[in-house]
Structure 1
């Protein structure tokens, strides 16, 4: 029987590679004006009339931009969501404004998004490590165990990241709508985020199945269980020697 790792490990790598690519699309959103980065953002909202804000604001991973991911702010790690407007703004949803980020962002949105932002990067790092370890998984069960552990850690942080992201931007959208403004979630950013999570989950499961791969092999038409000693079968042959019947044991 062929070892199952010969197809499980490559299949795991395909799903893991897809997860990493989609995660890069989210992290690099608004870096260029090419598709799909131009269409990738977490939330688009009408911010006209808010002090210091654009007429339409879109929140990406490193940037806060205008419509179509244009007129973006400078690159900043985990930018406070309230940097879309000035400090102590007028006409902004009160739920979003607070003392953080230069009096632009409430505590909830400041810390929830900051932790979610960091967990995206941690998930990416462990996903890449698991991807390279996945090549070793093609050679045996130990490689599958190493890659599976890395993918499992990545899945843990990825789950936290997309959960925090979803909670933050769904609540932001609802706050804008309650304030009488139009707002919509970015289908590309949400699709890539949850699609990446699903692909990573499948890759993790396949790596774990690879740990059990190759449990039996066939030698000379007879089955032998891996890890078990084959019971020795002794046969006896008898023949005459100088008129006496002699029995000889052989393995």
Structure 2
């Protein structure tokens, strides 16, 4: 009998690989201006007339850039969103400005993005662990269990990361629009983020199905084996009883 994992695990590995690649596109956004990294950003907004800001600002994972992901700041882990402008700036949407990040960012946007930023990296680490464990999943239930656990943990953190990212930058866009400025969310960054989540979600399901299928098939074989043995004993007993009756007759 063909093991279920022989075809479920490779499909899950392909999905995991796609999820990891899309995560790398998000994390490495604005590293250079070639596609897709040059087109990947979370938000692009008109920041002209804001003190110390570019005419157009685009927020990427490590960078705060100008239009087309050019004229970027130096790479910085979890850069405060308000670093797009100067301290206590004029003409910036009031809801975005506060005492955090060097008097550039409000409490909500400072911490929401920092947590989201970290959860992206944690999700990437566990996704890579799940990917390598997925090769063992091709051999049996134990490998599927390990890969499934790692991918579930990665899915948990990626769910938080993508949810925080969506909440932060959609609200930022709305704040810019409310102040009469043009703003749009980055289709590439949002597409890669949610696409990565979807692929990871499907891979996790496939690993879990691989565990249950193998277990249920073994259980069925055992049940069938017991039924055959019981039937054979019954037929033997009935045959023996008939022979005894014939002898006495």
TM-score by length of 2: 0.89
Match of 1:225 in 2: 222
Match of 2:187 in 1: 187
Match of 1:241 in 2: none
In 2, distance between residues paired with 1:136 and 1:227? 29
Alpha-carbon shift at residue 198 of structure 1 (Å)? 0.4
Match of 1:151 in 2: 151
Stretch moving more, 205-214 or 39-48: 205-214
Gap regions ≥5 residues in structure 1: 218-222, 239-244, 246-251
In 2, distance between residues paired with 1:104 and 1:227? 70
TM-score by length of 1: 0.88
Q: How many residues align?
A: 234
Matched, 1:46 2:46: yes
* Preserved CA contact (<8 Å) 1:49 1:91: yes
Match of 1:76 in 2: 76
Q: Secondary structure at the match of 1:225?
A: helix
Match of 1:35 in 2: 35
Distance 1:227 1:42, change over 3 A: farther
In 2, distance between residues paired with 1:12 and 1:137? 10
Gap regions ≥5 residues in structure 2: 241-246
In 2, distance between residues paired with 1:45 and 1:121? 26
Alpha-carbon shift at residue 75 of structure 1 (Å)? 0.3
Q: Which runs of 4+ in 1 moved over 6 A?
A: 226-230
Match of 2:64 in 1: 64
In 1, distance between residues paired with 2:126 and 2:224? 32
Alpha-carbon shift at residue 53 of structure 1 (Å)? 0.2
In 2, distance between residues paired with 1:46 and 1:224? 66
Q: Deviations over 1:89-146 (max 9, x none)?
A: 0010000000001100000000000000000000000000000000010000111011
Alpha-carbon shift at residue 227 of structure 1 (Å)? 11
Match of 1:134 in 2: 134
Alpha-carbon shift at residue 231 of structure 1 (Å)? 3.5
More helix by share: 2
In 2, distance between residues paired with 1:216 and 1:208? 15
In 1, distance between residues paired with 2:157 and 2:117? 11
In 2, distance between residues paired with 1:176 and 1:42? 14
More strand by share: 1
The Cα RMSD (Å) is: 1.9
